[in-house]
Structure 1
Amino acid sequence: MSKTRRELLRFAVAGVAGLACDALAFYLALAAGLSLYPARLLSFLCAVTLTWLINRRYTFASAGHPPPAPSLREFVRYLGAMLGGGAINYAVSVLCVLMLPPWRVTPLLAVAAGSLAGMLLNFVSAKLLVFQRT
């Protein structure tokens, strides 16, 4: 398996962990009394933080070399990259629902399409802009 394919697979696994973190943090925030939008913002930040830690340590780590110490600058770059993918995710899922009437009945398909589109942009952004190691 090529290095890029291995990284993409690991990135996807980190994304699944991020989704679980996102959902858990969201429901915990709601249970703690936060309203919908603040709960969603908090859960997104929790998920981004977890995926940043996983991706920097496992997905994009050089074999035999530990990653450099975490930095606020790297986290902010990662957050910015993930916001771009999040926008693509949202746009694709909304367009699917609007343009593909059967997907109104099964919006989870639109969510999946958006997630895949966002994941691809996020992977390329993370690989080239955030975790590019020399």
Structure 2
Amino acid sequence: MLHPRLPLLAEFLRFGTVGFVGFLVDTATVYGTRGLLGLYGAGVVAYLTAASTTWLFNRIWTFRGRGSGPAHRQWAIFLAANLLGFVLNRGTYALLVTFSPLCADQPVLAIIGGVAVGMFLNFHLSRSVVFR
């Protein structure tokens, strides 16, 4: 007999896999735009790009068949529901690139810190608000 929490664990692992793809998009965007936008502007653009990517993959894989309404509405709800996660994620990123010379030189470390802080809240909000 399967443990009743096994489907939740599988869903979280899919969410984490999608999150890793988002992390790669986030990192590539920061490194690709920091020369033009600076670290803070690059961080905002990267978050929006990564959040849109993760919404799409969560919609078609992690939470497939869940949620309702048109895609653009669900995307907007996803961004709104994860606003607190954004504040935690990018707040951590901004603190790290501001106060840690290592993170300013290697922003991927600040991105990892932000992801770690926001991941569990984003999973909860995605599961309970966006894709319910």
Q: Could you tell me the TM-score, scaled by structure 1's length? A: 0.70
Shift of residue 69, structure 1, vs aligned partner:
7.8
**Shift of residue 68 of structure 1?**
6.6
Offset of residue 114 of structure 1: 5.3
C-alpha distance in 2 between matches for 1:30 and 1:114 = 17
Q: Which amino acid aligns with 1:2?
A: L
Matched, 1:2 2:6: yes
Q: 1 or 2, which has the higher helix percentage? A: 2
> Is residue 92–residue 113 contact of structure 1 (8 Å, CA) maintained in 2?
yes
Contact 1:57 1:67 in 2 (8 A): no
Q: How do 1:47-86 residues align onto structure 2 when only pairs under 5 Å count?
A: 47-62=50-65, 71-86=71-86
Q: Which moved more, 1:121-130 or 1:69-78?
A: 69-78
Q: Take 1:2 and 1:85, find their aligned partners in 2: how far apart are those partners?
A: 25
* 2:19 matched residue in structure 1: 15
User: Which 5+ residue runs of structure 2 have no aligned equivalent?
Assistant: 104-108
Where 2:37 maps in the other structure, the secondary structure is coil
Residue-by-residue CA offset, 1:10-46 (whole Å, 9 max, x unaligned): 1111111111100101111234x22333222111111
- Of all paired residues, the percent bearing the same amino acid is 32
Q: Does 1:41 align with 2:44?
A: yes
| Residues 1:25 and 1:117: Cα distance change in structure 2 (over 3 Å) | closer
Structure number with greater CO (CA < 8 Å, separation at least 6) is 2
Equivalent pairs counted in the alignment come to 120
The one-letter amino acid paired with 2:58 is N
Indicate the SS of the match to 1:88: helix
Q: TM-score, normalised by structure 2?
A: 0.71
Kept in 1, the 8 Å contact 2:85–2:118? The answer is yes
- Secondary structure at the counterpart of residue 34 of structure 2: helix
The gaps in structure 1 that reach 5 residues or longer are: 95-103
Q: Is the 2:67–2:130 Cα contact (8 Å) retained in structure 1?
A: no
